[in-house]
A and B are shown apart, each in its own frame.
Chain A
Amino acid sequence: MHNDVKQHAQKFLQKGLRLDGRTLLDYRSVVVEYGAANGAEGSARVKIGDTEVIVGIKMSVEKPYPDTPDAGCLMVGAELLPLSNPEFESGPPSIDSIELARVVDRGIRESKAVDMKALCITPGEKVWNISVDICPINDDGNLFDAASLGTLVALKDTKLPTYDGKSVDYHTKTSQALPLQKEPIEVTVHKIGKYFIVDPTTEEEGLVDARLTVATMEDGTLCALQKGGNHTVTLQDVETMIDIATAKAHELRKAL
């Protein structure tokens, strides 16, 4: 990013404003749509400002992992589609898409959002596998929060397909929802100089020194963290960032 844009943005931040006129801890408008792909067992479309993400869930019956023979599996994948941002390229998953998928995965997994034991069909042999796929349509910043919100909504939207003990019939859904027990929400707080912002645009993401993604549950318990960016944060920063994230998660919950 150009140095003059950087300086310009810094001046704005001093006044408590962003390049697009928002205040530092303002989210853009959040729109959540249940069901965005009819071939998926559950799906969601999330728009945060101009950022748009589709998340879809496919259910399949697989052999469980040997260390958890009586629990279902969760797999989260993200593809930074070159359709959504001129800087994304086709090819094998980039490191950024891997980080995005893993951070979203951790929020769902560690909160025990889904009761994985309830997804066991025959212990040691057959369990339901949840495949979550994150597809950005337009990337104007803050894919982490959009993807994690989309994933939660898609999980809530999911209905199991029919399974007769041999094969899955994807054309007949049952009325059985996933056994959801928690609703974790991830909010990423970004640090630019000494200022904290949430929900950056791609332009602002170019200015960020450090970021902290915080996943919280309804009662405020933290269930996953990821620090990113090239600069360090102090313990005091971490405390502030967690407070901001918890308060913002509370606001985002209303969009569900």
Chain B
Amino acid sequence: MYKKRFDGRAFNELRPISAKAGIIKRADGSAMFKIGDTIAYAAVYGPRDLYPKFLKDPEKGILRCNYNMMPFSGSGDRVRPGPSRRSRELSLVIEKALLPVVDLSDFPNSVVDVFIEYPQTDAGSRCAGICAAAMALADAGIAMKDLVVAVSVGRVDDQLVVDLNYDEEAYEDGPVADIPVAMIPSTGEISLLQMDGEVSKEDLLRAIGMMKEVAGKIYDVQKAALKEKYTKGE
């Protein structure tokens, strides 16, 4: 029985969220997204020329995401720098989560690069990265249908919860399921869905429903941060 969450939150409560747009001046667009103790920085460069040449698409620009944890950002041992199988897979799913909202048809043969870095993490890093990247793309002025909102939901023992932290992911007294979800808020469409752990179909659908209910809160923080940058006239 998981009666009370380790950090005292309600089961459908997100960790504290903050966000800021335009934090990296050299980038064409950038953002920071913080949820609990997980911090994601995203920088967008492009549309720019794409090399190697064979990757070029003469019809439209391509989106290229890169997920990278700083070596000291893990919860235990040092993370070896450079790509790992995990970071390459996460780069891929983040890219697929963002692709449905961006329109790169005006930029054939080019690339929009999104670099996502983490100085510290406490679970939920791919979702925080998607939230930051969506804001950075908007900040870069890329044509988009909407932002993308992401957060993980899941099951800890007998409870369905929103926004698992590391302690919950590592819960050992019962089954755990971690379900990262990304959603396009205006349509409710899902652009990222992964799961590891044990969960019934009914619980999975209920958990995704819980994600939908809190998505608006994240969306509001993202929009407010973007508005703040542009109302300051930077």
Contacts and interface: CB of A to CB of B under 8 A. Distances in A.
Contacts of A90: 66, 83, 115
B107 interface: no
Q: How large is the interface on A (under 10, 10 to 19, 20 to 34, 35 or more residues)?
A: 35 or more
Given A39-B73, A58-B72, A86 B117 contact: no
B75 interface: yes
B72 A39 contact: yes
Contacts, number: 96
B198 interface: no
Given A56-B70, A86-B45, A39 B120 contact: yes
A246 to B, nearest CB: 31
Contacts of B68: 81
B232 interface: no
28 contacts: A37-B70, A37-B73, A37-B120, A38-B37, A40-B73, A40-B120, A41-B72, A43-B119, A54-B70, A56-B70, A56-B72, A58-B71, A60-B78, A81-B68, A82-B113, A83-B41, A83-B116, A84-B24, A84-B26, A86-B27, A93-B81, A131-B71, A133-B78, A135-B117, A137-B117, A139-B26, A140-B26, A171-B75
Interface of B: 23-27, 37, 41-43, 45, 48, 66, 68, 70-78, 81-83, 113, 115-117, 119-121
Top 9 A-B pairs ranked by shortest CB distance? A56-B72, A40-B72, A83-B115, A58-B78, A133-B71, A83-B43, A37-B119, A37-B120, A138-B24
Given A37-B120, A38-B120, A77-B71, 17 more contacts: A37-B73, A37-B119, A39-B73, A39-B121, A57-B72, A60-B77, A77-B81, A82-B66, A83-B117, A86-B48, A90-B115, A92-B82, A93-B81, A133-B78, A135-B117, A139-B26, A202-B26
